[in-house]
Copies of this chain bind each other. A is one copy, B any other.
Amino acid sequence: MRAVIQKSFGGPEVLEVAEIEQPQPLSGEVLVRVHASSVNPVDVVVRAGYLPLLGQPPFGVGWDISGVVEVAGPGARYAVGEEVYGMPFFPRAATGYAEYVAAPSRQLARKPKSLNHIEAAALPLAALTAWQGLVDKADIKAGDRVLIHRAAGGVGHFAVQIAKARGAYVIALASAAKHDFVRGLGADEVIDYRTTDYTEVLHDLDVVFDSNADGERSARVLKPGGVLVSIMEHANPERAAQVEAAGRRFAGVSVEPDYAALEAIAELVDAGKIRPHVSETLRLEDAGKAHELVGSGQTVGKVVLAVR
């Protein structure tokens, strides 16, 4: 089968499409015929060698997939022909940018019925990051006042929609060109971080969802006991200690496969509460270009690879 691999750390040019052996599902696993795979910032930093999750190359790339069960391993949870999505094996083996992926059943969920595979592939890692931060860690509730950094980004645009679906009052940070998009997601207020220092106009928030490594400033706008959900600084004990010393709660998030949350997300998608935004759809051969786009930090929503 065809899959994107890398034989060394480096720029987008190290990504290549190779012919590799098709994986075999173990007991409890399924072989997924992948229709689409999406690109996340973590793919880019792993590729470059900044985050050594996978040891030394060669290895595969990416985690997010949506596709159809081609082979159901013995005892698997899904039947041949079912449509599934997920981010199997993260943060271990990266096998996502490929024609076939073998995955444990309980690292997948049924694809939202209202989405095609391109859209569904945009969900897993980014939407689970937002879910595990806002729901599992911060337990946001109706009426909570929540600030979302980088609200037009891959994780951010899901965070806005999940917070709204839970009834929160959402204040979003984005550059002016993206304000219409972010308002369309349901944000109640949008602040242009380029012209306004949000720490001067916000205070006493219940939750800040910080996907911008801006923890020190973010903590300042929280009420006592408020929660700083941190995606980028989750492994920074100094930040955690500082936030806790100031009487706020530090909640670092490291996303994990989670079929139960994927099922909850699929329900919200099919109820019209969450909609992935795909800004670019490229092909496996264009994985390098996709990494350039995502690595720029300027994309709106998600970049997806159409595998077939």
> Chain A's interface: helix, strand, loop or mixed, by majority?
loop
Q: Is the pair A234, B75 in contact by a Cβ cutoff of 8 Å?
A: yes
Q: Is the pair A256, B74 in contact by a Cβ cutoff of 8 Å?
A: no
Q: Is the pair A74, B234 in contact by a Cβ cutoff of 8 Å?
A: yes
Docked pose: A258 CA to B261 CA in angstroms: 12
Of A1-9, A210-218, A247-255, the segment with at least 4 beta carbons within 8 Å of chain B is: A247-255
Q: What is the 8 Å Cβ interface bit string for chain A, positions 251-287, against chain B (1 contact, 0 not)?
A: 0111111111000000000000000000000000000
Say yes or no: is A295 at the interface (Cβ < 8 Å to chain B): no
Measured between beta carbons, the chain B residues less than 8 angstroms from A104 are 256-257
Q: Is the pair B91, A28 in contact by a Cβ cutoff of 8 Å?
A: yes
Q: Is the pair A258, B27 in contact by a Cβ cutoff of 8 Å?
A: no
Docked pose: A105 CA to B128 CA in angstroms: 14
Measured between beta carbons, the chain B residues less than 8 angstroms from A259 are 260
Per assembly, the copies of the chain total 2
Q: Is the pair A252, B26 in contact by a Cβ cutoff of 8 Å?
A: no
Q: Is the pair A235, B27 in contact by a Cβ cutoff of 8 Å?
A: yes
Q: Which residues of A contact B (CB under 8 A)?
A: 26-28, 53, 73-77, 91, 104-106, 132, 136, 234-235, 252-260
Apart from A104-B257, A259-B260, list 15 A-B contacts with CB within 8 A: A26-B53, A27-B91, A28-B91, A28-B255, A28-B256, A74-B235, A75-B235, A75-B253, A75-B254, A76-B254, A77-B132, A104-B256, A105-B256, A106-B256, A260-B260
Q: Is the pair A74, B136 in contact by a Cβ cutoff of 8 Å?
A: no
Docked pose: A26 CA to B26 CA in angstroms: 24
Return 21 A-B CB contacts under 8 Å, by A number.
Answer: A26-B91, A27-B91, A27-B234, A27-B235, A27-B254, A28-B91, A28-B255, A28-B256, A73-B254, A74-B234, A74-B252, A75-B234, A75-B235, A77-B132, A104-B257, A105-B256, A106-B256, A106-B257, A106-B258, A259-B260, A260-B260
